[in-house]
Structure 1
Amino acid sequence: MHSNPIEALRHQLATLCHAAQKGVIRLSTPCQVNDMMGWLNMQSVYPRLYWQSRDVGAVEYATLGAVNAFESLAALKADLVALNDIGGQQPDFFGGMAFDPHTPGWAHFPACYFLLPRIELKRHQGGATLSLNLRFDDRCPSAEIAQAHACLDALAAEQPLPRLQPLVYQREDRPSQQEWAAWVGLVTNLDHLMRTPKVVLSRETRLTTPQPPNPWALLSRWQSGAADCFHFGVQLTPSEAFIGCPPEQLYKREGRHLTTEALAGTTHRGRDATQDQALAAELLGDKKNTLENQCVYQQLLTQLEPLSSQVQMGEAHIVKLRSVQHIRRLIHAELHHSVTDHSLLSSLPPTPAVGGVPRESAMTFIRQHERHQRGWYSGVFGRISHTSSDLAVTIRCAHIDSEMIRLYAGAGIVAGSQPDEEWRELDSKIADIMSLLGMG
């Protein structure tokens, strides 16, 4: 990035008459950027976030710092209401939530965390825009302007990302394959199935290494082979990152219209087009996988019914990803006027595609048996604003710190699930990132 966009924002900041300002003020200028993650990687301001929805031609966002941060949905809702009452610009908030707020999560990731970024770099089909967000209604104007100047002063030019080197790792799976088989046996026991027809069990694969990869270089490579997926990265502190390319949407909201999906039921990709189609047809006709998908969409319909005036479900179809294919059904709803993102985020996650059915008894089983912390894996990540929101379920992800990469995968265990088949499915789900790490 050239220095002129930063100078342009400095000039706008210097000439801003803040006395009459209310709410969020956004100063923006066009800019040139070749590699959003190459830009993010060079910055010294935290938190650092990256977000791109899976829609074709979706806007890319890279953000730095925080004007405001919220560690509860109630606080975020109150702020959205306050900003709407003031009028003026309605900003985008970015962030995520853990899978289970009632268990200890990852050390530096709160159970819920959404922020209004200080700096926002946005790339769309028409070019790129660098923006500076300010807020005057509840803080000292001179301090706010000083913080904004300090953030602009700290901005660095983008550089090419470092190359990914195949690294040496020690691998440990939690649970072990033996423990996994025992869990699957418990879930598929007839008495347990009567009470809980589906439990999504997960595995943490720990790759210990003296030199973990650069998270932005890894995400950039992963993204290039993950079309039809969301792409996200977050560093709340310099020593830790959470990145991913999830295929699953939690929901997309445009005004009162909501889209969500039942994404459950999995098979691998074929060696050629003929075998691939045969596997897809087999998946759609398979009793166990159809049941798994049905568990998901029935619970979603039940959750959406009290929030909506109208709910429609589409036909089952196959989504093809790089290493696996899934059954998907789209669901459309018209929300009641009183329904907010707070209502949706309080009721929809964790979805039955990552938790189970019924939710409470499935969660009880997971809490009793899983020894690893899911943290933000199988939680939520995305963008929220007054007019529209877009959020993904955080699967197909990696949690990276200074000595370890943690990969996560889950499988829906229902009647007919076989432990060895489900274990192989877990390996299929981490195959993409393992190959990027030189381990595939």
Structure 2
Amino acid sequence: MPVHALSEDLKSLIDKLIQLKQVPPTEPIVQLSLNTVAMPLISWLASQTQFPRIYWHGRDRIEEVAAIGACKDFRFETGINDQQLAMAYQEQRALSTNQNIRYYGGVAFDRTIESWPEFGNSRFILPRIEFRRSGSKFSLLVNLNFAENDHHSEIDKAIAAIEAVMPAKPLSPPKKIVPLGRSDKPDFERWKTLVEQVVEPKFNQDTPKVVLSRLTQLEVNEPIDPWMVMACWQGRNPNSFQFGFQFSPERTFISCSPERLFRRRQQELFTEALAGTTVRGLSQEEDIALANALLEDNKNSVENQLVRSHIVNMLTPLSNYVGADELATIFKLNHIQHLHRAIRAELKPGVNDFQLLQALHPTPAVGGLPRHSALNFIRQREGYTRGWYAGACGYFNKYESEFSVAIRSALFEPGRINLFAGAGIIAGSEPEAEWQELENKLATIMSILFEM
């Protein structure tokens, strides 16, 4: 796109970059920013030709981010451990004092086995260009990595990226999808066997909870715009986290997840126990009755308490204080409702984000208890690679970080849509009821894909 067609704000950024050529950088990582006009961020992101493409929308609806390109890309495959990842990030973070610089990305559900192509077991990006919305204020940012690139050539790369920015176009209109086929891994018969193995008394005594999941693959013969699906999903469940990562045109991972892994503001930490599920009612009276039944249901209450207790126990060595709700409340989504307990901690000095990831991820709400034996069961018997599904996605910076658990998610590939859902299996779980819970959790995304 020629410079004369760029918005005035993009031109202003280019002017700032040209001026920066005359001044040696003060730090190895530099961020330029300016306030800008309101922008439909998903539409803008879908219109771009540069990769990666990253989207983040907080559950509180205050913050939204669309980012493209990369001036730093951390990608780790099988074999990397959290200490090495923490060391690499801490070294990178030390290159700037700017608290607004963020690294967006995620970690896989199981970092001991191979993950999806392009995504890695862990991958974090310092984007080249970001649009951020905070409340009603929009800002435009460009990041520069002088630690690994020549001063002038890095600025030239940034200018080229800005010149390649495309204007936002309307998203492609939704159209009903007719799948060529559907397959489930595991299928129902295998699912039934797995549930029966988990609830078997001898196994269940040592491993009281395993979260089993299912991959539903839909074969399609026409391209589906994942960002259009993301926008529709956002409209259906506005009180969820919404995020997406597209590292190439071949694969896009999107999620509309209700679950926060953690939010850190300096030494203050917020997390939650979100486990226990029922459907929504067709009327207000039925909805309230279903919520009350969920609150009184022993199986779901035990499941939520297990998650709460585990999180408190894992945070206690890292914290000066940990407090958790004694009583569960109801967290409502479009098609389902969950039991929810809020948890807050005051972290000890020096505790870093990767210690938090190591302590909290994967939570008992997506893995099970005890973690080691539950993960072994999943790894050996579930029958497919979860990848970033049920992983942790979000961002780091010096002042704060926020991660969501990547449930309610979809991976788009050429000719295929991969959908994921899981259910906590404890003593008393019944295969048919848990299978129906998977269907309930896919109801929103299925309605978007098949009723458009």
TM category (shorter chain) comes to over 0.9
Q: Secondary structure at the match of 2:403?
A: strand
Assess if the C-alpha contact under 8 Å between 1:83 and 1:90 holds in 2. no
Q: Deviations over 1:335-357 (max 9, x none)?
A: 01021001111221111000000
Q: Which residue of 16, 31, 38 maps to 1:12?
A: 16
Partner in structure 2 of residue 346 of structure 1: 358
Partner in structure 2 of residue 97 of structure 1: 107
Q: Which residue of 306, 323, 336 maps to 1:295?
A: 306
Q: Secondary structure at the match of 1:365?
A: helix
Q: Which residue of 33, 53, 58 maps to 1:53?
A: 58
Q: Which residue of 426, 435, 446 maps to 1:414?
A: 426
Q: Secondary structure at the match of 2:252?
A: strand
Q: Which residue of 229, 235, 248 maps to 2:246?
A: 235
2:113 is the counterpart of 1:109? no
Measured after TM superposition, the shift of residue 138 of structure 1 is: 3.9
Q: Deviations over 1:309-331 (max 9, x none)?
A: 11001131010110111001111
Partner in structure 2 of residue 146 of structure 1: 156
Change (3 A) 1:105 1:83: closer
Measured after TM superposition, the shift of residue 89 of structure 1 is: 5.0
Assess if the C-alpha contact under 8 Å between 2:395 and 2:402 holds in 1. yes
Q: Which residue of 393, 396, 402 maps to 1:390?
A: 402
Q: Which moved more, 1:225-234 or 1:193-202?
A: 225-234
Partner in structure 2 of residue 369 of structure 1: 381
Change (3 A) 1:257 1:89: closer
Amino acid across the alignment from 1:295: L
Change (3 A) 1:174 1:212: farther
Partner in structure 2 of residue 136 of structure 1: 146
Assess if the C-alpha contact under 8 Å between 1:23 and 1:88 holds in 2. no
Q: How does 1:250-261 map to 2 (within 5 A)?
A: 250-261=261-272
Measured after TM superposition, the shift of residue 80 of structure 1 is: 3.8
Measured after TM superposition, the shift of residue 79 of structure 1 is: 4.0
Assess if the C-alpha contact under 8 Å between 2:30 and 2:96 holds in 1. no
Q: Deviations over 1:381-422 (max 9, x none)?
A: 111111101110000011001110000000000011011000
Percent identity between matched residues is: 40
Q: Which moved more, 1:332-341 or 1:27-36?
A: 27-36
The TM-score normalised by the length of structure 2 is: 0.94
Aligned length: 439
Assess if the C-alpha contact under 8 Å between 1:318 and 1:325 holds in 2. yes
2:33 is the counterpart of 1:28? yes
Partner in structure 2 of residue 332 of structure 1: 344
Partner in structure 1 of residue 7 of structure 2: 3
Q: Secondary structure at the match of 2:147?
A: coil
Q: Which residue of 360, 363, 370 maps to 2:372?
A: 360
Amino acid across the alignment from 2:64: E
The TM-score normalised by the length of structure 1 is: 0.96
Change (3 A) 1:304 1:397: same
**Counterpart-to-counterpart distance in 2, 1:104 and 1:137:** 30
Partner in structure 1 of residue 177 of structure 2: 167
**Counterpart-to-counterpart distance in 2, 1:103 and 1:413:** 23
**Counterpart-to-counterpart distance in 2, 1:18 and 1:185:** 68
**Counterpart-to-counterpart distance in 2, 1:165 and 1:75:** 42
Amino acid across the alignment from 1:278: A
Measured after TM superposition, the shift of residue 40 of structure 1 is: 0.6
**Counterpart-to-counterpart distance in 1, 2:367 and 2:93:** 34
2:402 is the counterpart of 1:405? no
Q: Secondary structure at the match of 2:262?
A: strand
Which ranges of structure 2 fall in alignment gaps of 5 or more residues? 77-81
Partner in structure 2 of residue 176 of structure 1: 187
Q: Secondary structure at the match of 1:159?
A: coil
2:294 is the counterpart of 1:283? yes
Partner in structure 1 of residue 79 of structure 2: none
